[in-house]
Chains A and B, each alone.
Chain A
Amino acid sequence: MAESICRALRDGALEGEHAPALTIKDSIDAPLGFDVFAHVLAQLSSHILAGKSQSRGLVLVAFTRSPSFYVDLLKERGLEVNSSRKWIQILDCYSDPHGWKDRIMGQGKVDDATKEASGVSRLCKDVKDMDKLCSLAIELGKGLLGEGKGRFSFALDSVNEMLRYASVHSVARVLSDLRSHDLASCVFWLLHSDLLEDKVAAVFDYMSSMVASLESAIRASNGLRISLENLSLTEQNFRRAKFSIRFKRRNGRVRLMSEEVSIERSGITFSSVSTDGGTMGGSLLPKVQFNLQLSEKEQMDRAKVVLPFEHQGNGEPIEIYDGRRSLADKNNEAAGTMQMKDSSKVCLHCWCCYRITDVASNYSNGGIS
Chain B
Amino acid sequence: MDNLLDRALGLDGRGDRWPLLGKVVLVEDCVETGGAFVVHHIIKRFLSPQPAAASNHSLILVAFSQPLSHYDRVLRKLGCNLVAQRDHDRFLFFDMLNLRFPGEEFRDDVKTGSSVLVSLFEKIYNAVRALSAEKNCITIVIDDIALMEVVANGSSDSVLDFLHYCRTLTSEFDCSVVALNHGDIYSTTEKPMLMLNLEYLSNILVRAEPLATGSAVDVHGQLMVFNKGEHDGQGTPGSKVHNFHFRVKENSVDFFYPGGRG
CA distance A98 to B209 in the complex (A): 36
| A residues in contact with B42, CB < 8 Å | none
Contact A28/B235 with A95-B172, A100-B121, A104-B122 known, Cβ cut-off 8 Å = no
CA distance A192 to B243 in the complex (A): 27
1/0 per residue, CB under 8 A from A, across B212-235: the answer is 100000000010101010000011
> Does residue A352 face the partner (Cβ distance < 8 Å to B)?
no
Query: How far, in Å, is B122 (CB) from chain A's closest CB?
Result: 5
User: Cβ of B171 and Cβ of A68 under 8 Å apart?
Assistant: yes
> Does residue A164 face the partner (Cβ distance < 8 Å to B)?
yes
| A residues in contact with B125, CB < 8 Å | 100-101, 104
1/0 per residue, CB under 8 A from B, across A235-268: the answer is 1001100000000000000000000000111000
1/0 per residue, CB under 8 A from B, across A269-280: the answer is 000000000000
Which residues A103-145 have CB closer than 8 A to chain B? 103-104, 111-112
Query: How far, in Å, is A262 (CB) from chain B's closest CB?
Result: 9
Q: Which of A226-234, A289-297, A299-307 contacts B (4 or more CB under 8 A)?
A: A226-234
User: Cβ of B205 and Cβ of A69 under 8 Å apart?
Assistant: no
Tally A residues with Cβ within 8 Å of B. 33
Query: How far, in Å, is B10 (CB) from chain A's closest CB?
Result: 16
| B residues in contact with A100, CB < 8 Å | 118, 121-122, 125, 165
> Does residue B21 face the partner (Cβ distance < 8 Å to A)?
no
Query: How far, in Å, is B192 (CB) from chain A's closest CB?
Result: 8
Best-surrounded residue of B168, B199, B236 (most CB of chain A within 10 A): B168
Partner of A228 from B192, B224, B236, B237 at Cβ < 8 Å = B224
CA distance A224 to B238 in the complex (A): 19
CA distance A69 to B199 in the complex (A): 20
1/0 per residue, CB under 8 A from B, across A200-229: the answer is 000000000000000000000000111010
> Does residue A194 face the partner (Cβ distance < 8 Å to B)?
yes
User: Cβ of B200 and Cβ of A66 under 8 Å apart?
Assistant: no
> Does residue B161 face the partner (Cβ distance < 8 Å to A)?
yes
Closest to A98 in B: B161
Contact A69/B171 with A101-B125, A231-B224, A238-B228 known, Cβ cut-off 8 Å = yes
Partner of A194 from B172, B191, B239, B243 at Cβ < 8 Å = B191
User: Cβ of A263 and Cβ of B171 under 8 Å apart?
Assistant: no
User: Cβ of A225 and Cβ of B196 under 8 Å apart?
Assistant: yes
1/0 per residue, CB under 8 A from A, across B102-126: the answer is 0000000000000000100110011
Closest to B123 in A: A104
CA distance A66 to B171 in the complex (A): 7
> Does residue A94 face the partner (Cβ distance < 8 Å to B)?
yes
> Does residue B197 face the partner (Cβ distance < 8 Å to A)?
yes
Closest to A237 in B: B239
CA distance A101 to B171 in the complex (A): 14
User: Cβ of A226 and Cβ of B209 under 8 Å apart?
Assistant: no
CA distance A100 to B224 in the complex (A): 35
User: Cβ of B196 and Cβ of A195 under 8 Å apart?
Assistant: yes
CA distance A224 to B196 in the complex (A): 9
CA distance A31 to B164 in the complex (A): 19
Closest to B238 in A: A239
CA distance A238 to B230 in the complex (A): 11
Which residues B41-70 have CB closer than 8 A to chain A? none
> Does residue B185 face the partner (Cβ distance < 8 Å to A)?
no
Can you give 25 A-B contacts (C-beta < 8 A)? A66-B171, A100-B121, A100-B125, A101-B165, A111-B172, A112-B172, A164-B160, A192-B200, A194-B196, A195-B191, A195-B193, A195-B196, A224-B192, A224-B196, A225-B199, A226-B205, A228-B212, A228-B224, A235-B238, A235-B239, A239-B238, A239-B239, A263-B238, A265-B235, A265-B236
Chain B positions within 8 Å of A, measured between CB atoms, are 118, 121-122, 125-126, 157, 160-161, 164-165, 168, 171-172, 191-193, 195-197, 199-200, 205, 207, 209, 212, 222, 224, 226, 228, 234-241, 243
Q: A112-B171, A263-B236 provided; 16 other pairs, C-beta below 8 A?
A: A66-B172, A101-B165, A111-B172, A195-B191, A195-B196, A195-B197, A225-B199, A228-B243, A231-B243, A234-B226, A234-B239, A235-B238, A235-B239, A235-B241, A238-B228, A264-B236
